Amino acid sequence: MREVVITDIQYRMTMTAIWSLGRKGIPITAVAFEKTKPYERLGFFSKYVTQQEIIPGPEQSKQAFINQLAAIGSRILERTGECPVLIVPRTQTHECIVQYSELIKPYFEYHLVCHENLERANNTFLLSEVAGDVNVPFPETTWLKENETIQSLANRLTYPVVVKYRFAERLTLKPEQRYRIIDNANDFVAAYSNMHAIQSSPLVQRYVTGSGFGVSCVFDASHEPTAIFCHKRLREYPVSGGPSTLCESIWDDRMVRYAVDLLKALNWRGFAMVEFKGEIGGDVYLMEINPRFWGSMMLSLQAGCDMPFAYYKSVQRLSTAHQGQISFGNRYQLGVRMQFILQDFLATVCNIRKRPMGLLSYFSHLLSPSTKDGLLSFSDPRPGIKYIMNAFLHRQ
């Protein structure tokens, strides 16, 4: 059985791949970066990790990262006679590997979208153009025109608006720091000026109301989906628009069609999560593409849509051919809910004025056997326990 190498194991979403593949007996090498602290290396605490490696990260030295990652693959290839499957959860690591693919490809099997299309997915303005080409609804968008002042831009807007960085994934910011929701011109001038200084010419979008949805996909080398999963955000933290703290598995044909059309237009390979906002049966709009692992990824595994294994099989060219219309909706359980207990409690408390019965809802989900926890596992408890300990002992 071909081995697996997983990078960026400090993120909780990497546990989805570790649990998916480890439970099938697939040997896993977990790669941490030197600048991460020992308690942050979440994957190292899993019983399913068979080998631990610590190397320089791409931010520290791209060349050192590539050289040492290649050395890991070379050792596995020499020992097993097969190139291991490489899983890359984070955009910055993805970008580095694509940039140096000629040095990595001899030692690994993987699906990663090319640099050009990764740029188009990460750049909000370029993404809006792709969305227009395939008729995927996108919020009305504008930006600071040539020779225009920020004040004049503020005066021509209809509020509320959302200001977004064009290349948010390139910034070392938390998700909630990558945009601002603004209600008036005075606040807009201050906020836009600050964001413009960090990354030039942020985009301004009409604020879209409604629920948040995600269509998650794995695409193979032929740019065809091998796994598709949909979820709805029920709560998030920060409440202004952070990662899901409570979410539910759903299926929506229209959003699936939008996501697949969009990713095919980008000649996608590997993992992606396409975010929408709006209402089922009403208007929905594309928000962004996460060209990486996403925060609620564990829900797909818990609902029976094994995305890491779908990727593993597609890399080994074992995926089945697709015929006719995509019909993934009956391949996993609908209505499964997942909760991150600490973050969901904070989300509930923040919303307590708007929803006085929120605490009752929180505890009903916490105690419900139909709601899964996002990280606590009886079969492999150490990563979840360590994550909770870190939240209390290493708060920044």
Same domain, yes or no: 83 and 147: no
Asked if the structure places residue 100 within a domain, the reply is yes
Same domain, yes or no: 356 and 316: yes
Give the burial string for 87-117 (b: 16+ CB within 10 Å, else e): bbbbbbbbbbbbebeeebeebbbbbbbeeeb
Asked if the structure places residue 188 within a domain, the reply is yes
pLDDT tens per residue across span 106-140: 999 999 999 999 999 988 889 999 999 999 999 99
Asked if the structure places residue 185 within a domain, the reply is yes
Rounded CA gap, 35 and 324, in Å? Answer: 48
Asked if the structure places residue 161 within a domain, the reply is yes
**Of residues 308, 260, 262, 254, the one with CA closest to residue 278:** 254
Same domain, yes or no: 235 and 276: yes
Which residues contact residue 69 at a Cβ distance below 8 angstroms, ignoring those fewer than 6 apart? 5, 7, 31, 55, 97, 104
Quote the tokens at residue 92: 């910055």
User: What CATH number is attached to the domain comprising 161?
Assistant: 3.30.1490.20
Domain range enclosing 369 = 211-393
Rounded CA gap, 136 and 129, in Å? Answer: 10
pLDDT band at 331 (very low <50, low <70, confident <90, very high): confident
Asked if the structure places residue 131 within a domain, the reply is no
User: What CATH number is attached to the domain comprising 371?
Assistant: 3.30.470.20
pLDDT tens per residue across span 202-259: 999 999 999 999 999 999 999 999 999 999 999 888 776 677 889 999 999 999 999 9
User: What CATH number is attached to the domain comprising 55?
Assistant: 3.40.50
pLDDT recorded at residue 70: 98
DSSP 237: S
Number of domains present in the structure of the chain? 3
Same domain, yes or no: 197 and 217: no
